[in-house]
A and B are shown apart, each in its own frame.
Chain A
């Protein structure tokens, strides 16, 4: 029985370093290749030695698919392809291909240049790795090789996020990556057709959350920003150049417009300015509303948000500043932070995760006195807020996706074990399908039961269809008989006659003849007629003919009557049938041996 194996190397009952291996129909696919932000050691990357102990992965993987540009989904890619070694194709959508190297480079700078780590991938490795990327378009069916095909669907989580449908023969798996089932400010909702995969591998970050909590968090965020501005404070939002920054900009831009606020919003210069261009150029990946109006008003051309100059930081009065980098470990965001930290009217909002050792991490843990270089200390008086804005499907959304795709089995990743357990129960109860949640390094095995594709001769099929009449009758299923010819890799179903012809075989006729003695005091023709009437009454639904040449035909069985010369009452019935009518022939001979009922006229 064919089976599909799924082994998470990361994201199994966990969030971070997503990396899932799928073996399907003899093909091995790696889904995502992320890093764990919570670790600084080996655990940061998935354990690729699971795949092979010695060296390169190229021989063991048919392809790698990256669902979106977040580092917990693509952060280990250059390490995997350049340091462990993989030369096969890496698939990702156009926006992911554009944005992913920038985030990787950003992250590399933090780890190597700031924290002084060695044994990390280099800029050149990121470039070399990106050369192996093959861009994917939505709904395009990409033939990885003759048997393996993949197709991307819109996932809505971030710009360019995709779900993938992986198919080998009639077996298939869908991997959702991270997705969002409700359209948000700049992205649309995830969608998939009823593809009925054998396994649906879904993220389950918000497995136990039911309501759309993102709206609430947004409202919260706006309220906090607004309050700070009202009391004349300054708001610092450390961000990475791409992704969340644009989303928050749209959020503030529309809020500013609606509330008619005058306080300036600044965007730290450099890459961030350029980053908005990505959103403009990939506008087809945003939601319906933005797409429809982009000619008149491009949502990513912000009216209220202006470029930042370092001198502005000392300006009096309220303002909001987006500054890079996002973990307050260096650069402009750190400079501004130092300037504003002493005033309790100000606020810093951390919209993302911070690596251990960064100032961002320290202040989020409540540290209020920071040691700066050169023995100076910095008192942190400003308010510190943490807010996660990632858009994930909630429990309702996950159930909705299951209803859309109608999988035969479900597999949960990218979530906490306890929450998964809860959702697993719900899924098994509501859809009566098996739900798996393997831990990292554990393998979930699903046996599939694929049907066998066969080429049927059109004549045979049409004959069957014609027999069944124009409309199918559910009570009387049509039975079809034919011969399956298996030659090399082809399977052909043809009528038996055609099979003989195609294989160049002679038909061998097997016939039986049987004489039955019968006492019947009538003339031969009368006896024959009595037989005819008798059979008519017994065999309902058979073709019975009384032929003028003195025979009775039941289907293709021939019955003849003769009488012996001595006794005209002693009749001899001659039955003859071919092997194809064996059941009926055997029945008739037994029936007639019992004689004819006397009541026949």
Chain B
């Protein structure tokens, strides 16, 4: 069993597991941090941005964390754990010869589609006059300024996919429910488990009858909107692949949420606007829920909240229909029946408004001071670019970063100098090191595989030994492009004995509680399932004229003789011989046992602890009798 690691990004994993002749890709996260190397894509022409020195105003290229470690067309299935970890799907399923199936839960598919749609929309609505690729050439790249020169593997950076490719990729998705058991080619069974991180997010169990691999990716033990994490099903794993821990191990999500609210209120009270760059699904639901409770107490009742995204409406609507995937509290609301998320009420009371973009209705209904939630969190494209340009110059305004995926300083770089206040409240609900070590103690996997980043403290906090995984045996670290041999020894496989054969078996007790039976059977293997059937009886030999020659035909051996075990006790054997009329026996003791001389028959039987030797000439009936008598004392295996 092998694990190919295609991504070095611990929270945007992409691993390929080869297990029992199936090739399973685990997630395909898209690392978009490379967009920080590009200039923002303004919605309206910005003279300032286009005049920045030394930057080529090109955009929209996205880094694909892949290398030709293996042929993508050989991948049988892709298992998706959550909607953030599927953004590279079109790159893998399209134009690579991929013919397999993608498995994901319904919320993951629907919200994943929205997120992709949003990115495509952001890119396509600002068409570029020209685009360049020559700079990706190593020779030219060397001469480029700044961080671009030092970026690795720029040739792997790819253009953003199109909506057509997204649709085609998503048409390959097969929906699954939590704890559903999906058979892959009869060889492997995969099953998603609730991971508690986002709507429909899952960890995966990949198992056969004798081996079990758990894939843990983006899990959370905090009580937010999704169904709680299913921990007990992870027990008894041979290998546990651990990815997607929190990117902010030192930031407590609850504390950050509090800070978010107080900063928001402060800015509004002072007459400023608040900009929240965010993804259009996920933490935003929790932010809105938190604000719902907070609005009245902070007397923000009249402040307009805007959510601007091409998929804002869909995201809000979809969140309300996945009751099965929500935490217990929200589920019970549906039974009343009430929408599970309170943002329905915010919309109904006109406190929250959503728009597809800043164009159209928004421009006429827009009132300040206000709070705007919009994407993209990288500040490189999407409507957020416009608000940065609009509000950046005033110190009354505040930008609050809640998404942990991008370094906020890098994100802000092209907008400098900036008068706007910046608040960094990254909210990452995924497992922290404390929670994960508790979890591992609970589920007791034999081996843990994880990104190498988790095996040492973060570079900036090298003294914090609590910010790493310490396990016994130590975890097997992986980095991008490594290929791990997972410590597995497959020793058994499941077969099914058909009832007819099972009934014909004759068990004999060897030791108390242990019985054995010899089995001769025909193996039928179909779809990786093996069944054992009785050996068909040979067709009866038609009585032919050559009957007398039958003795010349060599015997047809249907089943080999079993192995023998045990020993033949002398006294009992002599008594048996006597019973069968063999009385003249001369017993001679040797170093290893006895030699019995059957004088009347001129036959020797050599009895030893681990062997019996019958020397008998020209008397086949006697020989077979002796054989059967000896066999009586032995066990057959």
Chain B residues whose C-beta falls within 8 Å of the C-beta of A52 in the assembled complex: none
Chain A residues whose C-beta falls within 8 Å of the C-beta of B611 in the assembled complex: 508-511
Chain B residues whose C-beta falls within 8 Å of the C-beta of A542 in the assembled complex: 554
Give Cα A479–Cα B32 distance, bound, in whole angstroms.
56
CB of B339 within 8 A of CB of A281, answer: yes
Q: A295-B314, A508-B612 are in contact. Are A140 and B179 (CB under 8 A)?
A: yes
* Of A231-239, A320-328, A496-504, the one with at least 4 CB within 8 A of chain B: A496-504
Complex: chain A residue closest to B624, CB-CB: A586
Whether B1 sits at the interface, judged by CB under 8 Å, is no
Min CB gap A467→B, angstroms: 10
- How does the 8 Å CB contact mask read for A122-146 relative to B, with 1 for contact and 0 for none? 0000000000000101111110000
Q: A137-B324, A510-B627, A514-B616 are in contact. Are A478 and B610 (CB under 8 A)?
A: no
Chain A residues whose C-beta falls within 8 Å of the C-beta of B490 in the assembled complex: 458
Complex: chain A residue closest to B564, CB-CB: A508
Chain A residues whose C-beta falls within 8 Å of the C-beta of B497 in the assembled complex: 451-454
CB of B614 within 8 A of CB of A454, answer: no
- Most B Cβ at <10 Å: residue of A137, A138, A484: A484
Chain A residues whose C-beta falls within 8 Å of the C-beta of B317 in the assembled complex: 294-295
Chain A residues whose C-beta falls within 8 Å of the C-beta of B337 in the assembled complex: 98, 274-275, 277-278, 281
Chain A residues whose C-beta falls within 8 Å of the C-beta of B334 in the assembled complex: 94, 98, 281-282
CB of A451 within 8 A of CB of B566, answer: no
* Of A58-66, A200-208, A213-221, A486-494, the one with at least 4 CB within 8 A of chain B: A486-494
* Of B387-395, B477-485, B517-525, the one with at least 4 CB within 8 A of chain A: B517-525
* Of B81-89, B505-513, B581-589, the one with at least 4 CB within 8 A of chain A: B505-513
CB of A479 within 8 A of CB of B535, answer: yes
Complex: chain B residue closest to A539, CB-CB: B554
* Of A359-367, A415-423, A588-596, the one with at least 4 CB within 8 A of chain B: A588-596
- The interface residues of chain B, by DSSP majority, are classed as mixed
CB of A283 within 8 A of CB of B321, answer: yes
Give Cα A505–Cα B635 distance, bound, in whole angstroms.
10
CB of B495 within 8 A of CB of A484, answer: no
* Of A34-42, A70-78, A344-352, A577-585, the one with at least 4 CB within 8 A of chain B: A577-585
Interface of chain B residues 548 through 576 with chain A (CB within 8 A)? 551-552, 554-555, 557-568
Whether B468 sits at the interface, judged by CB under 8 Å, is no
Give Cα A277–Cα B335 distance, bound, in whole angstroms.
10
Give Cα A274–Cα B496 distance, bound, in whole angstroms.
53
Whether A516 sits at the interface, judged by CB under 8 Å, is yes
Chain B residues whose C-beta falls within 8 Å of the C-beta of A492 in the assembled complex: 492
Min CB gap A542→B, angstroms: 7
Which single member of B106, B320, B536 contacts A281 (CB below 8 Å)?
B320
Whether B434 sits at the interface, judged by CB under 8 Å, is no
- Most A Cβ at <10 Å: residue of B324, B557, B565, B620: B324
Whether A538 sits at the interface, judged by CB under 8 Å, is yes
Interface of chain B residues 588 through 618 with chain A (CB within 8 A)? 609-618
Whether A548 sits at the interface, judged by CB under 8 Å, is no
CB of B519 within 8 A of CB of A493, answer: yes
Whether A223 sits at the interface, judged by CB under 8 Å, is no
CB of A500 within 8 A of CB of B177, answer: no
Interface of chain A residues 462 through 482 with chain B (CB within 8 A)? 464-465, 468, 472, 477-482
Give Cα A538–Cα B515 distance, bound, in whole angstroms.
40
CB of A94 within 8 A of CB of B331, answer: yes
CB of A94 within 8 A of CB of B561, answer: no
Chain B residues whose C-beta falls within 8 Å of the C-beta of A17 in the assembled complex: none
Complex: chain B residue closest to A483, CB-CB: B637
Whether B532 sits at the interface, judged by CB under 8 Å, is yes
Interface of chain A residues 501 through 558 with chain B (CB within 8 A)? 503, 505-517, 538-540, 542
CB of A451 within 8 A of CB of B498, answer: yes
- Most B Cβ at <10 Å: residue of A465, A581, A582: A582
CB of B492 within 8 A of CB of A481, answer: no
Which single member of A277, A295, A484, A510 contacts B634 (CB below 8 Å)?
A510
- Most B Cβ at <10 Å: residue of A453, A486, A488, A589: A486
Which single member of B499, B519, B610 contacts A482 (CB below 8 Å)?
B519
Which single member of B331, B502, B514, B615 contacts A485 (CB below 8 Å)?
B514
CB of B618 within 8 A of CB of A515, answer: yes
Whether B466 sits at the interface, judged by CB under 8 Å, is no
Whether A50 sits at the interface, judged by CB under 8 Å, is no
Chain B residues whose C-beta falls within 8 Å of the C-beta of A538 in the assembled complex: 552, 554
Whether B494 sits at the interface, judged by CB under 8 Å, is yes
Give Cα A281–Cα B319 distance, bound, in whole angstroms.
10
Chain A residues whose C-beta falls within 8 Å of the C-beta of B535 in the assembled complex: 477, 479
Give Cα A295–Cα B532 distance, bound, in whole angstroms.
54
Instruction: Give chain B's interface residue range (CB within 8 Å of chain A).
Output: 35 or more
CB of B321 within 8 A of CB of A281, answer: yes
Whether B9 sits at the interface, judged by CB under 8 Å, is no
CB of A496 within 8 A of CB of B562, answer: yes
CB of A511 within 8 A of CB of B180, answer: no
- Most A Cβ at <10 Å: residue of B491, B530, B637: B637
CB of B520 within 8 A of CB of A455, answer: no
Chain A residues whose C-beta falls within 8 Å of the C-beta of B525 in the assembled complex: 465, 472
- Most B Cβ at <10 Å: residue of A140, A141, A170, A591: A140
CB of A481 within 8 A of CB of B518, answer: yes
Chain B residues whose C-beta falls within 8 Å of the C-beta of A141 in the assembled complex: 179-181, 191
Give Cα A143–Cα B513 distance, bound, in whole angstroms.
30
Chain A residues whose C-beta falls within 8 Å of the C-beta of B144 in the assembled complex: none
CB of B612 within 8 A of CB of A509, answer: yes
CB of A458 within 8 A of CB of B614, answer: no
CB of A97 within 8 A of CB of B493, answer: no
Give Cα A542–Cα B513 distance, bound, in whole angstroms.
40
Interface of chain A residues 431 through 459 with chain B (CB within 8 A)? 449-458
CB of A484 within 8 A of CB of B523, answer: no
CB of A455 within 8 A of CB of B612, answer: no
Whether A84 sits at the interface, judged by CB under 8 Å, is no
Chain A residues whose C-beta falls within 8 Å of the C-beta of B314 in the assembled complex: 295
CB of A284 within 8 A of CB of B322, answer: yes
Complex: chain A residue closest to B340, CB-CB: A281
Which single member of A282, A505, A513 contacts B637 (CB below 8 Å)?
A505
Chain B residues whose C-beta falls within 8 Å of the C-beta of A461 in the assembled complex: 493, 495, 523, 530
Min CB gap B534→A, angstroms: 10
CB of B180 within 8 A of CB of A139, answer: yes
Chain A residues whose C-beta falls within 8 Å of the C-beta of B176 in the assembled complex: 139
CB of A508 within 8 A of CB of B566, answer: yes
Chain B residues whose C-beta falls within 8 Å of the C-beta of A486 in the assembled complex: 507, 514-517
CB of A510 within 8 A of CB of B516, answer: no
CB of B516 within 8 A of CB of A499, answer: yes
Chain A residues whose C-beta falls within 8 Å of the C-beta of B178 in the assembled complex: 137, 140
CB of A484 within 8 A of CB of B505, answer: yes
Interface of chain B residues 203 through 228 with chain A (CB within 8 A)? 209-210
Give Cα A503–Cα B514 distance, bound, in whole angstroms.
9
Chain A residues whose C-beta falls within 8 Å of the C-beta of B505 in the assembled complex: 484
Which single member of B551, B567, B614 contacts A512 (CB below 8 Å)?
B614
Which single member of B496, B568, B614 contacts A453 (CB below 8 Å)?
B496
Chain B residues whose C-beta falls within 8 Å of the C-beta of A472 in the assembled complex: 525
CB of A138 within 8 A of CB of B177, answer: yes
CB of A499 within 8 A of CB of B614, answer: no
Interface of chain B residues 311 through 346 with chain A (CB within 8 A)? 313-314, 317-318, 320-324, 331, 334-335, 337-340
Q: A295-B314, A480-B523 are in contact. Are A509 and B514 (CB under 8 A)?
A: no
Chain B residues whose C-beta falls within 8 Å of the C-beta of A579 in the assembled complex: 561, 564, 627, 631
Min CB gap B228→A, angstroms: 14
Which single member of B502, B552, B560 contacts A580 (CB below 8 Å)?
B560
Whether B101 sits at the interface, judged by CB under 8 Å, is no
Cross-chain pairs A/B with CB under 8 angstroms, 20 sampled: A141-B180, A141-B181, A170-B496, A275-B337, A278-B337, A451-B496, A454-B495, A457-B491, A458-B492, A480-B523, A493-B532, A503-B516, A505-B510, A506-B609, A509-B612, A512-B615, A538-B552, A538-B554, A591-B551, A593-B618
Q: Besides A282-B334, A486-B516, 7 other CB < 8 A contacts?
A: A284-B106, A480-B521, A500-B637, A503-B637, A506-B609, A513-B616, A593-B618
A-B pairs, 7 with minimum CB distance: A509-B611, A277-B337, A451-B496, A505-B565, A477-B522, A455-B492, A496-B563
